[in-house]
């Protein structure tokens, strides 16, 4: 089981012990889990070197090392660390001097409770966002995935998908929502599960399809209810937010939410709290929201069907998965994968792929995308009784006219060319030519080239070794 990640700390530095205690209590009650205190300013730099800190609240007037001097030391060693200066004197010159030395904000004692919470929350979130952006820039610059296994269930050789993986891995540690868009059957839930696995969050991945949920059902499903909240509520029920605590809540078909449900979700994202049905007090949430939709949310906004403020909250990180017709290089890989999966599930031997099948499938638009291809393959494998996968189920599914068009195009393109115009090749030469052409079409990806040739990758490696001079 994954352990809960340590949230970067908020550090309070002040020589007044009572003030430290009360400020820490206020912030902890406001939902900040990791709040540290130091009354001796000489010990601050040692602490910063020992554990991650996202924000420092620093008193200006302290013995030993003053707040101004400590600010300079902090910014010299940790230039990206957010600092809020706290002083008993409301002086514009002092505030300007602190800002010039790198302070992010400025508070004047005595600090009101609401002002303290709001300032800390705003500065803390900005600090986390800066950290997320830096991580994103670094990962994209490197161009390599740190954890390939997180995307192992997504079968692809597409460079476009590879770039999407890089982006998702970069933003996965962020606490902000992720919006995944794309047509039905493009793999949005698989992408969401990869984000969860890469996030480091120790809680579960909980998924819910919002299509068809009215406002009452939405509230009861996500927020839960108290005993006696309505007729028939004989016991308290935990909602999905509570069940996903410490983990990821995946909201599929977010575009189908009713207007009143959108308001409730917006509050959850903005305030980090929700109100179970029948409850008197809101509860704090600890979930990372990943949402998905096949709908055009911008178009829904323009029609007044989707709230702009909710849209922009969800769009902190956004990615669009391409349809299968724009990932044609993945069709041979997916075809092989689904044949093996279906054969294993049905207890059959894996049939060979007819030579024409890949050409037919690449010409088809696949309105149902990957899910439609999987259904086609499973049906064909269930029907087959010989060694070769039957073409007929695919021809029926994609249409005889399209198949006829493909065959006509191939015949016309091949007619003027004589394959043996330079002499009849030997079997060995023909094999080498086929291997070279398969590798060229696959961009030197041996796994994909082997799929084109209808052999295993190990068999291709043997042939390549045999053909070396």
pLDDT tier at 60, thresholds 50, 70, 90: confident
Report the alpha-carbon angle 391-393-398, nearest 5.
95
CATH number of 327-417: 1.10.8.60
Hey, what CATH topology would domain 9-137 get?
A: Rossmann fold (3.40.50)
Phi-psi region of 188 (alpha: psi -120 to 50; beta: other; left: phi over 0): alpha
pLDDT tier at 137, thresholds 50, 70, 90: low
- Per-residue burial over 152-167, b = 16 or more CB atoms within 10 Å of its CB, e = otherwise: eebbbbbeebeebbbb
Return residue ranges of the chain for CATH 3.40.50.300.
147-322
How far is CA 375 from each of CA 366, 367, 372, 382, rounded to the nearest angstrom? 12, 13, 5, 11
pLDDT, one tens digit per residue, over 399-420 is 988 887 776 554 444 444 444 4
147-322: CATH superfamily = P-loop containing nucleotide triphosphate hydrolases (3.40.50.300)
| C-alpha span between 410 and 398 (Å, rounded) | 18
CA atoms within 13 A on the CB side of 133: 8
Q: Looking at the predicted structure, is the pLDDT value of residue 421 above 80?
A: no
Hey, what CATH topology would domain 419-469 get?
A: Arc Repressor Mutant, subunit A (1.10.10)
Return residue ranges of the chain for CATH 3.40.50.2300.
9-137
Element (H, E) at 268: helix 259-271
- Per-residue burial over 283-310, b = 16 or more CB atoms within 10 Å of its CB, e = otherwise: eebbbbbbbbbbeebeebeeeebbbeeb
Return residue ranges of the chain for CATH 1.10.8.60.
327-417
pLDDT, one tens digit per residue, over 233-274 is 778 888 999 999 999 999 999 999 999 999 999 999 988 999
Which tokens in the block code for residue 188?
């949005």
What residues have CB less than 8 Å from 98, skipping those under 6 apart? Answer: 60, 68, 71, 85, 106
Q: Which residue do the tokens 């990758």 mark?
A: 457
Q: Looking at the predicted structure, is the pLDDT value of residue 143 above 70?
A: no
Return residue ranges of the chain for CATH 1.10.10.60.
419-469
């Amino acid at each position: 089981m994954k352990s809960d990640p340590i949230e970067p700390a908020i550090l309070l530095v002040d020589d007044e012990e009572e003030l430290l205690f009360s400020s820490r209590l206020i912030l902890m009650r406001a939902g900040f889990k990791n709040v540290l205190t130091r009354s001796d300013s000489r010990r601050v730099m040692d602490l910063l070197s020992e554990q991650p800190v996202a924000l420092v609240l620093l008193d200006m007037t302290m013995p030993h090392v003053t707040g101004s001097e400590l600010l300079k030391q902090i910014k010299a060693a940790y230039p990206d660390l957010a600092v809020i200066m706290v002083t008993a004197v409301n002086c514009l010159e002092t505030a300007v001097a602190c800002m010039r030395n790198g302070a992010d904000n400025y508070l004047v004692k005595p600090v009101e409770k609401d002002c303290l919470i709001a300032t800390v929350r705003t500065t803390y979130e900005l600090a986390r966002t800066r950290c997320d952006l830096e991580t994103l820039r670094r990962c994209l610059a490197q161009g390599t995935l740190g954890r390939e296994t997180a995307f192992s269930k997504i079968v692809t050789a597409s460079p476009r998908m590879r770039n999407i993986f890089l982006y998702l891995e970069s933003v996965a540690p962020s606490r902000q929502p992720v919006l995944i868009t794309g047509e039905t059957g493009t793999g949005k839930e698989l992408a969401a599960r990869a984000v969860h696995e890469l996030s480091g969050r120790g809680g579960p991945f909980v998924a819910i399809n919002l299509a068809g949920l009215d406002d009452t059902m939405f509230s009861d499903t996500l927020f839960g209810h108290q005993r006696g909240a309505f007729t028939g509520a004989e016991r308290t029920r935990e909602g999905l937010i509570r069940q996903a605590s410490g983990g990821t809540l995946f909201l599929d078909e977010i575009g189908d939410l009713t207007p009143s449900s959108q308001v409730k979700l917006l509050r959850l994202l903005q305030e980090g709290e929700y109100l179970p049905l029948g409850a008197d007090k809101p509860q704090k949430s600890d979930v990372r929201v990943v949402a998905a939709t096949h709908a055009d949310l911008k178009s829904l906004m323009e029609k007044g069907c989707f709230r702009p403020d909710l849209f922009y909250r969800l769009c902190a990180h956004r990615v669009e998965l391409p349809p299968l017709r724009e990932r044609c290089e993945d069709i041979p890989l997916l075809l092989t994968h689904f044949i093996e999966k279906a054969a294993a599930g049905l207890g059959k031997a894996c049939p060979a792929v007819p030579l024409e099948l890949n050409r037919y499938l690449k010409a088809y638009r696949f309105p149902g995308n990957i899910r439609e291809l999987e259904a086609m393959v499973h049906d064909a494998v269930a029907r087959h009784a010989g060694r070769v996968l039957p073409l007929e189920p695919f021809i029926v599914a994609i249409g005889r006219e399209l198949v006829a068009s493909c065959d006509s195009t191939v015949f016309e393109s091949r007619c003027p060319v004589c394959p043996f115009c330079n002499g009849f090749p030997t079997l060995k030469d023909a094999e080498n030519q086929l291997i070279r052409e398969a590798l060229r079409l696959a961009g030197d990806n041996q796994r994909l080239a082997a799929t084109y040739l209808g052999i295993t990758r190990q068999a291709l490696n043997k042939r390549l070794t045999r053909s070396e001079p």
